Structure 1
Amino acid sequence: GTGSAVGKTTISTGIMKALQDENVQPFKVGPDFIDPSYHTIATGNVSRNLDSFFMDEFQIINSFERAMKISKANMGIIEGVRGLYEGISPISDIGNTASIAKALDAPVVLLMDSRSLVKSAAAVVLGFKALDPDVRIEGVILNKVKGPRHFKKAKESVEKLANVPVIGGIPRNEEIAVEERHLGLVPALEKEKINRNIELWGNIAEEYIDLDALKDIMKTSDKSALKDNKGKAIESMEEGNNYGHRVDLSIHEDEFNREHNEAINLEVTNGSKPGELWKTGNKAPIKIGVAIDEIFTFYYKETLESLEDNGAKIVPFSPYKDDEIPDVDALYIGGGYPEVFKKELSENESMLKSINKFHNEDRPIYGECGGLIYLSESIDGLGMVNAIPYSAEMTPRVQGLNYVVARSNRDNLISEEGDIFRAHEFHYTKLNIDNTDDLVFDVLRGRGVLNNMDGVSVRNTLANYIHIHACSCPNFAYNFTKNIAELD
């Protein structure tokens, strides 16, 4: 898109729905959990995240190819994030959509909010083309057009002055807007009527977008270029250049007020070999209970797959609906909206007691964000698991919204002392903790739980605000499964 709030999620999901019979594999640029849930419902294939902050170029290409192979998809559709060039830096491509397009040699269809734009629409497209000639902008969709006359004029302007075909014009329609919540769009699993909304978005895409032209644009992807890019990435890794995992922290000094603002580049601790997405080697037959229901939905598919690649069997359970945890060796409680459903969770006392007992038996538990506050003593005064002996509360303002670089300050459930990894944080809650004694991660970029630290470690439970992706912490699954197996 040309920016945020131009309609990327509704239009992208609508296109995916309209092309569902073609067997579409969906992707989302960036760390977001919610948009992919819409994609998954629209296509029937699990949407994957592609992120050049989390992943080096090889991981981007391999993740894309792996997903296409698993779903046996005929086409891949990638929803971008914010503006095409927006990432963590005003200069580099780290974390932006353009970096993904270049790594995959994928053509870009630019979505533009065209309200009050005619000739200026061409100027916008020309600017996007000129900024980086390596990004192939092959089509434009004009969103929020006033009517046929407006669309005709803006289309002519873009096609004649910017030399890019306009393949769609979506009229202004408040009906296609989706409800928002404090973490962005409301997650699809939470909305009973989402199927009807996605059906509407698909109908709009069929009516107002030239889908045949879109498919022709997809065919311009060069598989040989993708193969070349992958070869260069592996060659660079073999030479020891983990170039995709470098970030200059100095440009964030004003935002994060660091005492150590010198320009430094940090490499992720990478136990995997060139050609691997993450470290493997464990084959112990362990079972990990993963909290998956209407409340806990925030998991990266690759992270679960990395656990399976290291011998784990994933056993889903619901902290909301089930009476107790299943017969497992460890628990993984991811993010979601426990603060919204705190009453329902607090009333399931048998589940709370079951997890607390598991914790007090020193069984391994790992929690992220929503999992952290569910494992806490209470949320806004309502009792929770009480494995983490601090209370949590909802606040009216964002407490953390960052890409994160963290370093382990001691051995723990998922990493070893000195390990460096990347992650993401986004939360409105805060943990009422007044000391850093139990915090095992030094947060070099981001906020964390307290004083730029995260990862509350109590007994054999570890919980943090940061979300980890298997590609940004390649040792995660290996260490987690190894530590679980060693307890048996």
Structure 2
Amino acid sequence: MPHKPKARSCPALFLTAPASHQGKTTLTAGLARHHRDQGRKVRVFKTGPDFLDPYILERASGHPVYSLDLWMTGEADCRRRLYDAASDADLILIEGSMGLFDGTPSSADLAQTFGVPVLAVIDATGMAQTFAAVAHGLASFRPGLPFYGVLANRVASARHAEMLLQTLPPGLRCFGTVMREDAMSLPERHLGLVQAQEIDDLEARLQRAAAQIAATALTELPPPVAFRPTLAEAVPKLLAGVTIAIARDQAFSFIYPANLELLTELGAKLAFFSPLADDALPEADAVYMPGGYPELHLATLSATLRTATGLRDHVAAGKPLYAECGGMLYLLDALTDKQGQTGNLLGLLPGHATLGRRLAGLGLQSVELDGETLRGHTFHYSSLTTPLAPLTHARRASGTAPGEAVYRHGSIVASYLHAYFPSNPIATARLFTP
């Protein structure tokens, strides 16, 4: 009989909150940095679709940060990544998304599936004894959830901390009170946190957060969790001999590390270029234009010459170009930002997008292309006007409203959808082959 791999145990903690904007990322990063500074190897994961928080957490921990989502990445993918991390990590941290019970699937679903102890970060701004009620509600709402305790964040003073803990129920542990400190807060913009590479003093902020963690009981390692193995299917070398040019800079940085790894596993050679630096397009059989913030760099992108010429020649030669969200916007005739400034862009995809002040698309979605289904998500503030008829529409993970339009124009496939490539290697390979 074949040998069955054993479960691997590793201390693990799931950091969540009652809502967004409670300080989860800052404190997860601080916790990772504290334990890293003690010489421990810390592996951090992020719940749900997210490109911004993982870059912060990567800087804090020193290791790539992967997404875990029971729907988008799938339970088997989550299980494999946690099992692999447990092989050599001293601590596994998972940062939740939104509030603990928000979404389908929720952070609570993920924590309960893998038995990871849950620590709730609660922003104590503007509350006193009600802190205990919120903590009690989170801890008791779902029977069977491995609730570990709470952490009070943005506490104003020692007296405030005392009031927060006065009515905390017996048996519900508070692991500490973190004082309000602007020097460790992470700046935000319309899609979430400012990108790690744009925060000049990020190291100082991480160290301040780590110092705050050092004054809490979170210096203790959480209890070990047994992570069970799962069988991984072999990835066929469907892209053997294919070179894919991938845009990557501050304007185009929304890339799942797992996407790049899968392209390599499929046999592709990856070559990176920067439209912001007006790089020449590498010799390539296909191009991947990921999402990002083209709206913040309109003047620079409108003035590109070498990159623009390379991409136009690539499309004129009938070679595949796959574009997601911000990558799609760069291909349009024009883009107008929130200030009303318009930049003329590549003109490879007919249309004009305008950035709004409210979300125009949000949520988990899947799309069927040539009989294969890719899962992913959408999150954007811009709206597109185009004469193109959609090739198809994505489907929402929940709800009946139509999902994002997917366009095929010559050799271009483009959409607002951010695909998670490991959800379907065959569908992914087809995006980059004629």
Q: Same fold (TM over 0.5)?
A: yes
SS at match of 1:339: helix
Report the Cα offset of residue 453 of structure 1: 4.8
2:203 to 195, 210, 214: 195
- Whether the aligned pair in 1 keeps the contact of 2:248 and 2:273 (CA below 8 Å) is yes
Identity rate, percent: 27
Question: Which one of 155, 164, 167 corresponds to residue 154 of structure 1?
Answer: 164
* 2:138 counterpart of 1:185: no
Structure-to-structure mapping, 1:52-67, within 5 angstroms: 52-67=70-85
Does structure 2 conserve the Cα–Cα contact (< 8 Å) formed by 1:365 and 1:462?
yes
1:396 CA displacement: 2.5
Say yes or no: does 1:324 pair with 2:324. Answer: no
Contact 2:281–2:310 (CA under 8 A) maintained in structure 1: yes
Look up the match of 1:13.
Answer: 29
Residue of structure 2 in register with 1:456 after alignment: 407
User: Which shows bigger deviation, 127-136 or 450-459?
Assistant: 450-459
Q: What corresponds to 1:210 in structure 2?
A: 217
Aligned position for 1:128: 138
State the SS of the aligned residue for 1:377. Answer: strand
Trace 1:297-308 onto structure 2 (pairs within 5 A).
Answer: 297-308=253-264
**Cα distance in 1, alignment partners of residues 85 and 330 from structure 2:** 31
Map 1:135-150 → 2, pairs under 5 A: 135-150=145-160
Q: How many residue pairs were aligned? A: 409
Instruction: Trace 1:206-245 onto structure 2 (pairs within 5 A).
Output: 206=214, 208-213=215-220, 215=221, 217=222, 219-221=223-225, 223=226, 226-227=227-228
Change (3 A) 1:316 1:73: farther
**Shift of residue 312, structure 1, vs aligned partner:** 0.8
SS of the equivalent of 2:20 reads: coil
Q: TM-score with structure 2 length normalisation?
A: 0.87
Q: Which residue of 2 aligns with 1:391?
A: 352
1:100 is the counterpart of 2:110? yes
Residue in structure 1 matched with residue 339 of structure 2 by the alignment? none
Letter in 1 for 2:414: A
Equivalent residue, structure 2, for 1:76: 92
**Aligned AA (1:83):** G
Q: Using the TM superposition, give the Cα deviation of residue 404 of structure 1 relative to its aligned residue in structure 2, in angstroms.
A: 1.6
Question: How far did 1:164 drift?
Answer: 2.2
Deviations 1:238-276 (A, max 9, x none): xxxxxxxxxxxxxxxxxxxxxxxxxxxxxxxxxxxxx33
2:317 pairs with one of 361, 370, 393: 361
Q: Per-residue deviation at 1:153? A: 4.0
- Answer yes or no: is the 8 Å Cα contact 1:22–1:74 preserved in 2: yes
User: d(CA) in 2 for partners of 1:84 and 1:315?
Assistant: 39
Alpha-carbon distance, 1:111 to partner? 0.8
> How much has 1:451 moved relative to structure 2?
7.1
Counterpart for residue 423 of structure 1:
376
Identify the residue that residue 4 of structure 1 maps to in structure 2. Answer: 20
Residues in 1 aligned to 2:234 and 2:258: alpha-carbon distance in whole angstroms: 10
Q: What CA distance in whole angstroms lies between the structure 1 residues aligned with 2:374 and 2:306?
A: 36
CA contact (8 A) 2:404 2:417 kept: no
Q: 1:156: Cα distance to partner?
A: 5.0
CA distance 1:66–1:301, shift in 2 (3 Å) = farther
Alpha-carbon distance, 1:182 to partner: 1.1
Determine which of 292, 300, 322 is the counterpart of 1:344.
300
* CA contact 1:277–1:471 (8 Å) conserved in 2: no
Alignment CA distance shift 1:150-1:451 (3 Å)? closer
| Cα distance in structure 1, aligned partners of 2:291 and 2:343 | 18
Q: TM-score, normalization: structure 1?
A: 0.78
Note the aligned Cα RMSD (angstroms).
Answer: 2.4
More strand by share: 2
What displacement does 1:423 show?
1.8
* Residue among 361, 386, 389 paired with 1:433: 386
Q: Any stretches of 5+ residues in structure 1 without a counterpart?
A: 89-93, 232-274, 409-415
- CA distance in 1 between counterparts of 2:273 and 2:76 reads 34
1:278/1:306 contact within 8 Å kept: no
> How has the CA–CA distance of structure 1 residues 23 and 308 changed in structure 2, closer, same or farther, with 3 Å as cutoff?
same
Q: Distance in 2 between matches of 1:19 and 1:472?
A: 32
Distance 2:126 2:304 in 1: 53
Letter in 1 for 2:162: K
